Amino acid sequence: MKGAAPRIPRKKARRAAGVILGVEVGKASSYRRCRRARPSVGGAQLATRSETGEFLVAPDPGRAGLTRAVRGVDQTGAVQDIAVVEERPLTIYLNSREIVTAMTIGDYPEYLALGFLRNQGMLSDGDEVTGIDYDEELEVVVVRTAVVTDHEAKLARKTRTSGCAVGTVFGDMMAGLEGLTLPPATLRTSDLYALSQKINRTPSLYLEAGAIHGTVLCEGPRPLVYMEDVGRHNAVDKVAGWMFATGASAADKTLYTTGRLTSEMVIKTALMGIPILASRSGFTAWGVEIARQVGLTLVGRLRGQRFVCLAGEERLVRDADLASVADEPGKARRKGAA
Amino acid sequence: MKGAAPRIPRKKARRAAGVILGVEVGKASSYRRCRRARPSVGGAQLATRSETGEFLVAPDPGRAGLTRAVRGVDQTGAVQDIAVVEERPLTIYLNSREIVTAMTIGDYPEYLALGFLRNQGMLSDGDEVTGIDYDEELEVVVVRTAVVTDHEAKLARKTRTSGCAVGTVFGDMMAGLEGLTLPPATLRTSDLYALSQKINRTPSLYLEAGAIHGTVLCEGPRPLVYMEDVGRHNAVDKVAGWMFATGASAADKTLYTTGRLTSEMVIKTALMGIPILASRSGFTAWGVEIARQVGLTLVGRLRGQRFVCLAGEERLVRDADLASVADEPGKARRKGAA
C-alpha cells in the first residue's frame, strides 16, 4: 500500500463529503446505552441519558467493535472475562499519498484523519476537502482536497502508535507557534468544577474497559465533544477533526484531557486556537514553558475541588464557592490509563 | 544537524567505551537521597536506603536537572511551588547518521540511545559498540559501532516525542516476532507481590513530581533496574540499553511497567527476550493477542492482592498466601501518569 491511494470500491466505502460527516450537529447522534448496568463512580450515579444529551458527541462505550471480552484468571485462579479496548491500525492517505498508520480504537476514522492532517499542518482551515473515503475492511481512510498541495511530502511513511505524536513535524509545529497569540477568554472556576463533574460521571469506554484516554471539547460549563482513544493524541486529533469538519470556533472553548500536560499537548491545543487546557494529570516543565510563551491557560491536577494553574492565570475568574464543591471520593479517581 | 555526526570536542563529551558505561554492576551507583523528607505512601513509610540498596540502578529523584520548581496558584488563590519533571530533546546518532530526537527527562542518555537502537533493530546483541559520546550541551549522543551497517538507513529523520514508539519500524518489529519463542520461566505470585510492594515504596521521580512512567527490570522478588521517563517507551529503552551494555540475561527476568499493556509494549518485551510482563494498568486487545501468539506472560491490573493474567498463565506458580497480602490502600494508588 504505497504510493497511489488504494482504489476503494464505492459500494464498500463510507463516503463523507463536505463538513458534516454524518454527524448532525446539535444532538448526541452517536450515543447509545451502555451494555452493562449503569455503574456508579465513587458512589455517585452515572449521568442519565438526558444529562449526557447535552453532548454533541458523547462517548459510545456500547458500540460494537470498540471492546472485546477477553478471558483470563485472577489472583485466586478464578476465570474472569474482562472488557478490553481494541487497538487497530488506520492508514491515512492525503490524496494519493500515504501519510501515516495510526493505532486507534477505530471510531470516528474520518475525524481522526482530518484532525491528524490538520494538527500536522497538512490541512489548513481554508482548504476545501472534496471527499473522505473510509474503508473499514482495508482499514484505510483517504482525504481528498480540491487543490493538491505539497503538504503530502512533509512526511515519509511512518506509523504512529498509541500515545505518540509523529515527530518530524514536531519542529515544524514549534515554528508554527512563533507569533501566535491566543485570544483573551474567561475560565470561571464554577464552570471548571461543573465540567469535571460531568465528564467524570459520563459513561465512557474508560469506565467500561480502562486503559484509554479521553479529550473533551467544552464551552463554558458544557462538555460538547467527548472523544476517547488508546493514545491521547488520537483523542485530541478526533476533536480537531470534528472542529475542522463543523467549522467550530476555538476562541470560546476549553480543552479537557485525561492525560498529562506535556509540550506536545500544549502545542496542539495552541495551534488549534483554544486558549484554555485543563487536565486531571500533571505537568512537564517544557509544557508549562510553552504555555507561558503562547499565553495558554494551563490547569492541572484537577481533582475534586483541587487544581493548580501554572500558566495564564489571568483568565481565571474565581466565582465558585469552594465550600459547595465536593472533594472527589477515592473511588472516583481515575487510575492508570498511562 | 543533518548528515554527518556532530563533532563533539572530546573535553566536552562524556565518553563511554565498551559495555560498562560507568555504572558499576552490583551496586546502586546512581542512588542519592531524596531532596524532600521521605514521604509516606498510603500510610506506609517509603523504603530506606538499605532496602533500595538492592537495586543495581535505583531512581534518583534528587538528581539535579530532572525536575524544576514551577510557581502557580491553587484553587484558593494561594501561590504554590510544585516540582515538575523536565522534558528535553536528545538527538541520537548511529555513527554518522542522525536517527531520532527523543523527548526525555535527560538521565542515562547512553542507555536510552543504546536501548532505542537495540529495540528498533538497528543494533544487534552481537554488534560491537566502539564508543558512545554524549554531549550535554548539544543534547546529542553518538553511538559508534565497529562495523558500520546499513541499519542507519532504516529511519528517515524524525522526532520521537513522549509516550511514543517511532513507527516506521513498527512493521519491522512485527516481522521480528515471527518464529520467536520465549523461554519457559516461573512467576511466583509471592515474588509478584514482593516486587509490587518494593516498587511502590521506592522513592522515585513519580512520587516527587508525578506525570512520569516507570519500568523496572526484575529477577525473582528483586527489582534490579528502575528507569523513569516522560514516555514509557523511553523508560523501557533505557532498561534495554542497560541490558545491552551489561550483557544481562533476559530469560530469567520479569519486566514491570506502570503503563498500559499495549501492543508495542508487548512487542518490545518479547523482542528483548523477557518472558514475563506485569503492570498496574490495563490491557489492549491487540496487546493480549500478540502476547498469546509469542507465549509472553501478561499480568495486569496488579494492585494490592488483585491482578488479572490474560496470557501465559502456565508460568504462574500460586505460592502466595493471599490472606497475608495487604490490599492496597487508596492513597497508594498511582494516578494519572497518563
pLDDT tens, residue order, chain B (338 aa) = 445 677 776 556 666 544 333 333 222 223 222 233 333 444 445 555 555 678 999 999 888 899 999 999 999 999 999 999 998 889 999 999 888 888 899 999 999 999 999 988 889 888 999 999 999 999 999 999 998 866 555 554 333 333 343 333 444 556 678 888 899 999 999 999 999 999 998 988 888 888 889 999 999 999 999 999 988 889 999 999 999 999 999 999 999 999 899 888 999 999 999 999 999 999 999 999 999 999 999 999 999 999 999 999 999 999 999 988 877 755 455 543 33
Residues 6+ apart with CB under 8 A from B55: B28, B31, B202, B223, B224, B225, B226
Pick the CATH number of B187-332 from 3.40.140.10, 3.40.30.10, 3.40.1500.10, 3.10.450.100: 3.40.140.10
* Interchain proximity B258–A88, CB inside 8 Å: no
Interface pTM (ipTM) of the complex? 0.78
Q: Please give the residue of chain B at the shortest CA–CA distance from A69.
A: B285
* Interchain proximity A258–B189, CB inside 8 Å: no
| Pairing assessment for the beta strands B297-303 and B276-279 based on DSSP bridges | parallel
* CA of B111 vs chain A CAs: smallest distance (Å): 21
Q: What is the DSSP letter of A284?
A: B
Q: What is the DSSP letter of A191?
A: H
Q: Which residues in chain A are contacts of B74 at CB distance < 8 A?
A: 306-309
* Interchain proximity B85–A159, CB inside 8 Å: no
Tell me the Cα Rg of chain B.
20
Instruction: Locate the domains of chain A by residue range.
Output: 1-338
Q: What is the Cα A163 distance to its own chain's centre?
A: 12
Active site residues of B: 164
Closest CA to B291 of B264, B316, B325, B318: B264
> What average pLDDT score do residues A70-97 get?
93
CA B275, CA B182: separation in Å to the nearest integer?
6
Give the per-residue pLDDT at B207.
85
CA B243, CA B225: separation in Å to the nearest integer?
9
Phi, psi of B219 (to 5 degrees): -135, 115
Beta bridge partners of B218: B223, B254
Can you read off the three cell numbers belonging to residue B303? 494492585
Q: Select the residue from A139, A260, A293, A318 to test the B interface by mutation, using most B Cβ atoms within 10 A.
A: A260
Can you read off the three cell numbers belonging to residue B161? 516525542
CA B53, CA B65: separation in Å to the nearest integer?
23
Give the per-residue pLDDT at A99.
84
Give the pLDDT confidence of A107-116 residue by residue, as tens digits: 999 999 999 9
CA B28, CA B23: separation in Å to the nearest integer?
9
Q: Does domain A1-338 have CATH number 3.40.140.10?
A: yes
